[in-house]
Amino acid sequence: MAQPFLARLRARHPEARIDALGPPWVAPVLRRMPEVDEVIEADFRHGALELGRRFRLARALRARGYDCAFVLPNSWKSALAPFLAAIPERIGYTGEARYGLLNRRHRARGAPMAEHYAALADSLGEPAAAPLPKTVLRADPARASATAARFGIRGDYGVLCPGAEYGPAKRWPYFAELAPRLALPAVLIGSAKDADACAGIAALDLCGKTTLDEAIDLIAGARFVVANDSGLMHVAAALDRPLVAIFGSSSPVHTPPRSARARVLWRSLECSPCFARVCPLGHLRCLREITVEQVLEALRVLEGGPLPDFRQQ
């Protein structure tokens, strides 16, 4: 969601050095963004101030001599290190009352997330014309093939991403019914937290068994991807893989897969989007009313016709 911001920044300042600071779990994605020169990892515990460590980070940032820092998260803590590092321009949304910590504050306008972040780049010049830059992650086909071989995968395969860390209101319940209908072998990708969502699916289960780099490689080499609204969905879109993206409690208007090769399935019920982790009404209609046949048909459209040998029930 933030890469169009980086692409816009790079286009306006082609000679600038752009470094990205983030937690280790997101570093592999940042390293695949062509706009980023270096990734600086900072692993702070969620909800913890860890002031001493933030002071040390600030000293390291000050030594690098940055002219400007863009703070994308809304939290007060995320703006602390750039402030302590005395970076001259500190730009971001007001968020958690970050008066003083940021000296160029923007007011959020409720725009879709990609536009929300990209608007921060407008603070350094005239507003950019739409559309936003395309989201692209770098992938090496030889590396993708080597990663697949390391996990015993040969030939064409599809990737299924049944998890969504946000909660069950974003997890489509029919992946187990979908997998046997596919002619291609299915590979399950996700974190260890997705083990329950992957249970009982007739596929190669790699949930929690890959690094994020390996997961990106496997998605890059897949013939198609079916995913819930999740980080891996956005990875598949940025890798330009044929993608069926399934939305439940969240909104494809707010966080769409930014790819012309993606097809979104969303019921848009009277109670949608509720953005709840668990269905507050108990029926989960937004996901249960998306059928296996609809997913298969979306895959056929993506392939430009019937995918060969879809298995019939």
What homologous superfamily is domain 3-124 in, according to CATH?
Answer: Glycogen Phosphorylase B; (3.40.50.2000)
CA distance 291 to 67: 52
- Nearest Cα residue to 168 out of 282, 294, 25: 282
- Do 3-124 and 141-302 show the same overall fold? yes
pLDDT: is 204 or 12 the higher one?
Answer: 204
Q: pLDDT-based confidence at 309, cuts 50/70/90?
A: very low
Q: What is the mean pLDDT of residues 159-165?
A: 94
Q: Check: CB of residue 106 under 8 Å from CB of residue 119.
A: yes
The structural architecture, per CATH, of the domain 141-302 is 3-Layer(aba) Sandwich (3.40)
- What pLDDT is attached to residue 48? 66
Q: How many residues make up the chain in this entry?
A: 313
Residues whose CB falls within 8 Å of the CB of residue 27, separated by 6 or more in sequence, listed in order: 39, 41
Residue 160, pLDDT above cutoff 80:
yes
pLDDT tens-digit readout, 108-132? 888 889 999 998 988 766 666 667 8
Q: What are the sequence ranges of the domains in the chain? A: 3-124, 141-302
Predicted model pTM? 0.90
- Could you give the C-alpha distances from 25 to 22, 41, 44, 113, in angstroms and in order? 8, 9, 11, 20
pLDDT tens-digit readout, 277-307? 999 999 999 999 999 999 999 999 997 744 4
